[in-house]
Amino acid sequence: MDTSSHREVRTLGPTHTLPDYVSALEKALTADGPALGCGPVHSTSVRSDISLLVATSGSTGTPKEIALTAAALTASATASNKFLEAAKGDTWSLLLPLTHIAGINVLMRAMQLGTEPVDLRNHVGSYPHADFTAIVPTQLFNALNENSDLLKHLQGAKAVLVGGASLSQDLRAQGAAAGINIVATYGMSETSGGCIYDGVALDGVAFEIASDGRIKISGPVLADIEKDNGWFITQDLGKIVDGKLQVIGRADDVIISGGENISLSAIEAEINRKFPNLLVAAFSTPDSKWGQALHIAVQSTDEKIKSELSDVLVQAIGSHAKPKSVLLLDKLPQIGIGKIDRISLAKLVSE
């Protein structure tokens, strides 16, 4: 293999400091150093034009490595700061892991504004001020229900990006009522993270709905991935309402139980409407009688919630939505940032 057109991949471990990451990222964006590995990457080299290699969570399939150029990362950061009307000197706080594209994006945006990211990943106590930050829905839930210090930090920011997983309307409404200026983001590693804010495409980005209902994205933020005439076709279903994108759910999260189609996203949305203070996850397991069986996992110790959830789903959706089991867990397993690990949940039921 001709290695002259390739560069080394360097992955930083948990002992490395934030300045180490910033320095490594700056060098990766130029020809001065190796590409930066983000997460558990296995490749040791990439093409010379690749600056970042991201290991995806693989929450619904085989983990992948996504290659991003400096141009894509820069386009994403520039468009994000422009949408938020961030100015030179504004600060970003880091509340997300640097093993994920969302954490790297915080560094990119801060670098563009000429400021150092405020590292709050393992912070305890009162939080310092930052103009902008990015979190996942679980962190918003925790701020509203148990972490008053984090809540004050979010309230003091000009805008708080919330992405990485589906943000329910009820949770968003709670956050808004608490005085948090929430901007819901949609994107993935293949799009350099969030590229659609509150249903609006960032500068240079476009979206459409494919004939099968899946969301298509184009623009300079796309990774070095397979495209269909310039479009990246996601595995998410969506619709366009008044020019804005509404994400319906995963194209592959519909199960068939007893001949009935059941959307796991719809199940979770219905529970969230009735129980906005509960963290829940719908998942399925193979079933010899029904084909696939619906289960619900709840972050709770309240036994009464089992029958209450079943009743709500039967009344709202129908008898076919009655779960085979409701698991009470101290904490819902996650993979990546804010994504429920449905594979681990299914294993718990099968054990």
Answer for the pair 53, 9: CB distance below 8 angstroms, yes or no.
Answer: yes
Q: Which pLDDT tens digit goes with each residue over 183-219?
A: 999 999 999 999 999 999 999 999 999 999 999 999 9
The CATH architecture of the domain made up of 254-350 is 2-Layer Sandwich (3.30)
Q: What is the pTM of this model?
A: 0.84
Q: Which pLDDT tens digit goes with each residue over 89-103?
A: 999 999 999 989 999
Which of the four pLDDT bands, split at 50, 70 and 90, describes residue 2? very low
User: Of 134-138, 284-288, 337-341, which has the strongest mean pLDDT?
Assistant: 134-138
Q: Which pLDDT tens digit goes with each residue over 3-28?
A: 468 999 999 988 899 999 999 999 99
Answer for the pair 66, 189: CB distance below 8 angstroms, yes or no.
Answer: yes
Task: Identify the CATH homologous superfamily for domain 70-248.
Answer: ANL, N-terminal domain (3.40.50.12780)
Give the domain ranges of the chain. Answer: 70-248, 254-350
Residue bearing tokens 């940032």: 337
pLDDT at position 166, please?
Answer: 83
pLDDT at position 249, please?
Answer: 83
pLDDT at position 4, please?
Answer: 61
- The Cα-based distances of 201 to 47, 206, 246, 270, 303 in angstroms read 29, 6, 12, 28, 43
Residues whose CB is less than 8 angstroms from the CB of residue 13 and which lie 6 or more positions away in sequence, other chains included: none
